[in-house]
Amino acid sequence: MEDKIWNYIIKRLTGVETEESKLFLDQWLNASDENVKLYHEAEQLWKWTGSVSKSVIEDNENVITHPAVEQNRRKSFKGIIKYGVAASLAVFTSLSVYYLSRSKSQVDDVEIAYTVHKAVNGKVMKVTLPDSSTIWLNAGSEVSYPKDFHTRKTRAIQLIGEAFFEVTHNEKQPFVVESGNLKTIVYGTSFNVNSYKGNKQSSVTVKTGKVGVLLKQDSLSKPTMLLPGNRLVYHRDNGKLEKTTIFKEDIANWINGGLAFDQATPQEVFATLARKFDVEFSFEETAFEGCKITAKFPNQSLETILTTLSASLRVKFKEDGKAIEVKGGQSCR
């Protein structure tokens, strides 16, 4: 487990972390203040010794188990620094020894058990958390959290996709949702988060109560506060935040089968339909440049929706089982 955490720290410091390593390291940091301290000390040491190229750690499993690491595992950190660490491997060795010597007593804390819920395409899933909070997962979405998250300083949730949260009130234990570039902090309220990977936007919309939203990279800045009916949209292409207002009855209408699009690209619309109806669209990406769609479909069939889109986008749909080919279309620029 020590090597696993160290590998994930190395990935973050060198800018090559994966979704899996990011999730695990974030949860490990959230587990205790001592873990955060260890990470910051390793980060500082990394700055002292200088970073290495990404190519050196492409196979960091081999690096971490290199014989040099094992030979020096019991050496003191000061002794290694005394002789210097010029080569990339030496940097890994010295940092590993330092980290392992400091984290040995925390090994048991690293053994965190996670719960993962995933709604497959075509399905909406209801999840009840250990603190009695409720999550509605939209199709093609996933949440994960430590099984003992309700006993921690914060009730931390990781989200990929879209979910509607009804959070049990606890002012001493904030409920935190990390989704893409956004971090949403609440104490007890209901709100919707949309953060699918392929979309150009992420959003947080409040139905009841009050939430604060931060950009994860600006965690020390003042959060944007949202009240019922407020929506905060993060534009991934330029990094800007936009606060708008919508009708509360439109929030999370997907739970009851409805669909609502607000200035969505045709690509985003097709992706949403693919998740909801468990189908697959094929089309020319350049056929819809600059096009945006605003529409509501209250629990309507795929056939009805495609008929409407066919007229508005000037396209034809050819269905073959779950495969749908989009023919035609033109740029809106």
Q: What is the pLDDT of residue 142?
A: 96
Task: Determine the Cα angle at 238 with ends 234 and 243, to 5°.
Answer: 30
Counts of helices then strands in the chain (DSSP H, E): 10, 18
Instruction: Summarize pLDDT for 79-126 with one digit per residue, the tens.
Output: 333 333 333 444 444 444 445 454 444 444 456 788 999 999 999 999
pLDDT at 110: 54
- For the chain, which domains are there? 2-110 (no CATH), 114-250 (2.60.120.1440), 257-328 (3.55.50.30)
Name the β-bridge partners of 193: 163, 204
pLDDT, one tens digit per residue, over 282-321 is 988 777 888 899 999 998 999 999 999 998 888 999 999 9
Cβ atoms within 10 Å of 143's Cβ, excluding its own: 24
In sign, the C-alpha dihedral spanning 244, 248, 251, 254 is negative
Pair 201, 235: CB distance under 8 Å: yes
Q: What is the DSSP letter of 296?
A: E
What are the helix (H) ranges across the chain? 2-13, 19-31, 33-49, 60-64, 67-72, 77-83, 88-103, 107-110, 266-277, 302-313
Mean pLDDT on 177-187: 91
Residue 19 has pLDDT above 70, yes or no: yes
Contact present, 54 and 14 (Cβ < 8 Å): yes
Put simply, whether the predicted model's pTM sits higher than 0.85 gets the answer no
Per residue in 204-233, pLDDT (tens digit) is: 999 999 999 998 877 667 789 999 999 999
